[in-house]
Chain A
């Protein structure tokens, strides 16, 4: 029987077949954060259930914590309400918690892989749609709602309907200035924000095999932006080298047993997918979004589209609304649009390699007078590593703010907003209406593109700056 990575990661978790495609699945790791995690713990308590397997859950505050230097759990009104509550509830439940200024604190999807909590073949849940990130290591990981979190906490299982399978094959070598972020934005622009509805997606091909883990995490992170709850990449030697020696990764005999299992997970040669897409990465330009959906993306040489050319009325109206919200003109060039704010960070692009790429552009330059720019490392570990190699100094010398780890302006749950009407270039995952704050105008891009916007004060083709070195 020829199976896909998805099938090999689904089958070992089936506790009971619930018919019609539904299964009761064992959850191997459950990650809690300060918004939905607390709600899930409250719901279990309200229903009077015990926590079934507390050693398989981990908790960390990330969404609502301040990222100001010197912050504490109570620095902001929202954080004061959520962070101490999560800490206390996790402690009462016997769940391992990394508190606001713990050396391991960070965005939940950054610290899971960093700590070796994320492993190939594990079924991982978290009350956050970007849980697909963990699939980059070959895990089966997906976001759930807060009542579903309560289900996991009370039973260590989750009821899910088995999705269809899709494979996206990225072939070729990435051109200069083009990054994993550009690959995933290009894919979303190609198949649309609903193109992956109902699918578990596997990313494959030579461009994926050649990619370090951090880039793979960026790709899997944005699976949900085209509707796919699950995005996965088959584990390989790059994966095993990344995981070896991580704090909570298996050791000794358990490592050897795990490794033998992990090597069986990649999709069999003759396995079939319900849908297949092939993309030549050599064709991809640095991407920038123009609208209010991640599918509203163009190459940096592109223009704001004209709604009159849209293929149907739904899209025509959506484009017109997006163009009005974003304060743009149909047909205008993306390059040269003045930028008020730049945000570098998030579970999409807040890792060390992302900060290195941004710093390479920022080094020896200055943030433009009309622009403010923030760098928010994805975790304390990322922050320490960046400081050890002097990236913080490069950013600060260039006029960027160097901040504490958290979700910050990706979701603006912590009171850190982009100002109303301000134009932001952001390395995050969603350019939705109001996502970075009421009336904020978000353009999604890679870390290098965001840094290029910061130092020029406008949307800029990073390749014009990158070729200098």
Chain B
């Protein structure tokens, strides 16, 4: 993963609550496209009108937000399906961080697997950021993961909490698989012990062949 220390740029406000991963990317797109081809299909049900043409009212279609690396979102962002393609679709749009009052649990885990930062802040803070973003469109927000702060344009830093395990992974760019691969002997020891305690877990017999 690409290490992530600071992110700086415009923040695009998409403030509906309970935005689900089906809306972020349709499952059919994930069946047929590669992970770096999803950008044009992110939020397609909202992005396009019934005739298939882009809806200029939809915020991600507006040029001012085209390169925003930060998404400001409503509560429970990324709820629903476990599809990791939801994170890939956001990444295709250039988004590296989402700031919201809360997240779908599987979506948040998928963010960490892709060097993408979910920042949890109180609803009123996110709403205040959204108001700043709407009135000062090009003004950059900065997220500093070392200091655990979001700095709005011309504003005071706002501190956020993040689990240290996740923060270190993002800062170093070390992914979970590489880290756990260093523990294979521990895993082998666990399995050896577990085979004695819970043999039925490890010896799976096919009843049709006995």
* Interface residue A240 (Cβ < 8 Å from any Cβ of B): no
> What B residues does A24 contact at CB under 8 A?
180, 183, 186
* Contact across chains for A251 and B84 when beta carbons are under 8 A apart: no
> What B residues does A433 contact at CB under 8 A?
22-23, 45-46
* Contact across chains for A438 and B45 when beta carbons are under 8 A apart: yes
* Contact across chains for B106 and A22 when beta carbons are under 8 A apart: no
Q: Which of B58-66, B89-97, B149-157, B187-195 touches A?
A: B187-195
* Contact across chains for B207 and A249 when beta carbons are under 8 A apart: yes
Q: Once bound together, how far apart are the Cα atoms of A52 and B165, in whole Å? A: 24
Q: Which of A255-263, A267-275, A376-384 touches B?
A: A255-263
For window 24-43 of A, CB contacts with B under 8 Å fall at 24, 26, 28, 35-36, 39
Q: Once bound together, how far apart are the Cα atoms of A66 and B23, in whole Å? A: 23
A435's nearest neighbour on chain B, judged by CB, is: B22
* Contact across chains for A413 and B31 when beta carbons are under 8 A apart: yes
Task: Say whether, besides A36-B82, A145-B84, A435-B22, A254 and B102 are in contact (CB < 8 Å).
Answer: no
Q: Which of A149-157, A333-341, A366-374, A449-457 touches B?
A: A149-157
| Interface range, B side | 35 or more
Question: Chain B nearest CB: distance from A166 CB in Å?
Answer: 13
Q: In the complex, which of the residues B17, B175, B191, B202 contacts A314, with contact meaning CB atoms closer than 8 Å? A: B17
* Contact across chains for A194 and B74 when beta carbons are under 8 A apart: no
* Interface residue A144 (Cβ < 8 Å from any Cβ of B): yes
* Interface residue A18 (Cβ < 8 Å from any Cβ of B): yes
Task: Say whether, besides A63-B27, A432-B80, A254 and B74 are in contact (CB < 8 Å).
Answer: no
* Contact across chains for A293 and B31 when beta carbons are under 8 A apart: no
> What B residues does A439 contact at CB under 8 A?
45, 50
Question: Chain A nearest CB: distance from B1 CB in Å?
Answer: 10
* Contact across chains for B82 and A145 when beta carbons are under 8 A apart: yes
A55's nearest neighbour on chain B, judged by CB, is: B204
* Contact across chains for B106 and A129 when beta carbons are under 8 A apart: yes
Q: Once bound together, how far apart are the Cα atoms of A63 and B22, in whole Å? A: 14
> What A residues does B79 contact at CB under 8 A?
193-194, 227
* Contact across chains for A144 and B205 when beta carbons are under 8 A apart: no
> What A residues does B15 contact at CB under 8 A?
314
* Contact across chains for B76 and A144 when beta carbons are under 8 A apart: no
* Contact across chains for A227 and B76 when beta carbons are under 8 A apart: yes
Q: Once bound together, how far apart are the Cα atoms of A426 and B75, in whole Å? A: 27
* Contact across chains for A81 and B187 when beta carbons are under 8 A apart: no
* Contact across chains for A119 and B200 when beta carbons are under 8 A apart: yes
* Contact across chains for A21 and B176 when beta carbons are under 8 A apart: no
* Contact across chains for B176 and A432 when beta carbons are under 8 A apart: no
* Interface residue A15 (Cβ < 8 Å from any Cβ of B): yes
Q: Once bound together, how far apart are the Cα atoms of A434 and B199, in whole Å? A: 45
Quick one: which of B17, B177, B181 has the most chain A CB within 10 A? B177
Q: Once bound together, how far apart are the Cα atoms of A444 and B46, in whole Å? A: 22
B23's nearest neighbour on chain A, judged by CB, is: A433
* Contact across chains for A251 and B207 when beta carbons are under 8 A apart: yes
* Interface residue B109 (Cβ < 8 Å from any Cβ of A): yes
> What B residues does A432 contact at CB under 8 A?
20, 22-23, 80
* Contact across chains for A248 and B207 when beta carbons are under 8 A apart: yes
* Contact across chains for A145 and B109 when beta carbons are under 8 A apart: yes
* Interface residue A245 (Cβ < 8 Å from any Cβ of B): yes
Task: Say whether, besides A12-B198, A49-B181, A434 and B22 are in contact (CB < 8 Å).
Answer: yes
> What A residues does B22 contact at CB under 8 A?
430, 432-435
* Interface residue A197 (Cβ < 8 Å from any Cβ of B): yes
- Binary CB contact string for chain A from 399 to 434 against chain B (1 if under 8 A, 0 otherwise): 000000000000111010000100000000010111
> What B residues does A28 contact at CB under 8 A?
201
* Interface residue B113 (Cβ < 8 Å from any Cβ of A): yes
Question: Chain A nearest CB: distance from B45 CB in Å?
Answer: 5
* Contact across chains for A257 and B199 when beta carbons are under 8 A apart: yes
> What A residues does B109 contact at CB under 8 A?
144-145, 148
* Interface residue A280 (Cβ < 8 Å from any Cβ of B): no
* Contact across chains for A434 and B165 when beta carbons are under 8 A apart: no
* Interface residue A159 (Cβ < 8 Å from any Cβ of B): yes
Quick one: which of B164, B199, B205 has the most chain A CB within 10 A? B205
Pick 16 A–B contacts, CB within 8 A, sort by A. Answer: A49-B181, A56-B204, A144-B82, A144-B109, A147-B114, A154-B177, A155-B180, A197-B105, A227-B105, A248-B205, A250-B205, A293-B18, A433-B22, A434-B26, A438-B26, A438-B45
- Enumerate the 6 nearest inter-chain pairs by beta-carbon distance, A residue then B residue, closest first: A250-B200, A147-B113, A145-B84, A145-B110, A194-B76, A143-B82
Interface residues of B, Cβ cutoff 8 Å to A: 15-18, 20, 22-23, 26-28, 30-32, 45-46, 50, 74-76, 79-84, 87, 102, 104-106, 109-110, 113-114, 163-165, 175-177, 180-181, 183-184, 186-187, 190-191, 194, 197-208, 210
Known: A146-B84, A155-B184, A318-B18. 9 other contacts (CB 8 A): A35-B30, A36-B84, A53-B191, A63-B27, A117-B204, A129-B81, A129-B106, A151-B176, A433-B45
